[in-house]
Amino acid sequence: NTPLVNRATNGLYRPGSTFKTITSTAALNESVINENTTFLCQREYKYLDVTMHCTGYHGNINVVHALEKSCNIFYYNVSQHLGIDRLVNYEKLFGFGTSPNIEIGAASGYISSPETFKKLGIDWTPGQLLQSAIGQSEVTVSPLQMACQAMTIANKGVRYRPYLVDSI
């Protein structure tokens, strides 16, 4: 019901499994995992008094196959070792939580963190870390921010400022 909103720059959405590339980058760079580290996915993950589920039964799975299969349980395990502070740091490095600084303005979105929850008046619970690692919880990004994330990965970690092109 808002036809004049530029959804590419100002629409805010949960990134979902596309966010797993950030969690992977953080875990690999912080030596929480390496390319051979595996976690067992048996379709269910018990955390405190909650049972989380995965999209399939993947057995022992490493980061490459976890990305390929979009295995939530791998990322739940990774998040327990990585912690929210390091995950938030990488979200910021990828430009989440700040405006992409494009000429026409753009939304900043939210980083899923205890500080964001406090600002929104929501209680942070331990399970939010698991949800944050798979791009759920209160992390919201614009399509432009997701394009910048993909560009940063393609450029081996170099993040360029996006620009509008009027003509060539």
What six digits make up the tokens of 145?
């921010």
CA proximity to 143, closest of 96, 104, 89, 84: 96
Q: Look up residue 15 and give its amino acid.
A: P
Rounded to whole angstroms, how far apart are CA atoms 161 and 168?
A: 18
Beta-carbon count within 10 A of 165 CB: 5
Determine the length of the chain. 168
Rounded to whole angstroms, how far apart are CA atoms 79 and 83?
A: 6
The single residue of 17, 70, 99, 108 carrying the catalytic annotation is: 17
CA proximity to 37, closest of 24, 21, 55, 18: 24
For this structure, is 70 an active site residue?
no
Known catalytic residues? 17
